[in-house]
Copies of this chain bind each other. A is one copy, B any other.
């Protein structure tokens, strides 16, 4: 959403037309349909707009909701785009091996909290960073991370990473960019992998901060790969088969930050960039 609020060159998404509703991912019920794939009454998740009623011309990036014995808001998160992002980013981009050391930034966010739990369940050592004590506690006590730290309290990110990864990092799940990325590069292990999911620390800057330690890509033979969830939606049924039972059996925790009412959506969006939300930010437009 944020990235569409500027001029875009060679971007996967188009810039917003001022005056038109903002586009985002949501859950909706079909009130009327001319499309044989979607019937009146169906629930679906996917691209919607910041409005109570939408006319949707192109049904391509919408998925029908079949399992309704979980909160519907989960389809904006753990069972939707962020869940698939965590799944594809960790398993497809990072090629994890049991016992590897995984670091996740913005780790209590919609994607980070899931990557960490997937990695722990897979048998990795998992450390996350976040920006408040409350979030760090969540990481350690609710999401089961091995360690977590508040990056805002660290004078020297390089030293912080050395404390939690004395032997280096095999996998970095990158959500923030900037100084954290530069510090991580210094602490990567040989043949490490970096999945570049987001660079949220940079999106509000006129020019992105420079990254100075890319020489580590060579000395440590690191693979750094950006990805977008769109390329992996064919794995969605496989993902649901894995994650739905985990949710129902209480084996995976999931934290949402609920804002009530469309009128609170702008401040909820703005809050993401100062880390005001705790967990996946959801805006309730209507309840069943």
Which residues of the partner chain B approach A24 to less than 8 Å between Cβ atoms?
none
Partner of A217, one of B9, B10, B220, B225: B225
Cβ B226 vs Cβ A218 within 8 A: yes
Rounded to whole angstroms, the CA-CA distance of A222 and B225 in the bound complex is 6
Which residues of the partner chain B approach A215 to less than 8 Å between Cβ atoms?
177, 199, 202, 208
Rounded to whole angstroms, the CA-CA distance of A227 and B190 in the bound complex is 10
Given contacts A223-B225, A225-B224, contact A214 B177 (CB under 8 A): yes
Query: What distance in Å separates the Cβ of A93 from its nearest Cβ neighbour in chain B?
Result: 9
Which residues of the partner chain B approach A214 to less than 8 Å between Cβ atoms?
177, 181, 196, 199, 208, 211
The answer to the question of A219 belonging to the interface, with a C-beta cut-off of 8 Å to chain B, is yes
Which residues of the partner chain B approach A209 to less than 8 Å between Cβ atoms?
210, 212
CB contacts under 8 Å to B, within A168-211, are: 168, 177, 181, 186-187, 190, 196-199, 202, 207-211
Which residues of the partner chain B approach A37 to less than 8 Å between Cβ atoms?
none
Closest to A202 in B: B215
Which residues of the partner chain B approach A177 to less than 8 Å between Cβ atoms?
214-215
Q: Which of A's residues lie within 8 Å of B, judged by CB?
A: 9-12, 168, 177, 181, 186-187, 190, 196-199, 202, 207-228, 231
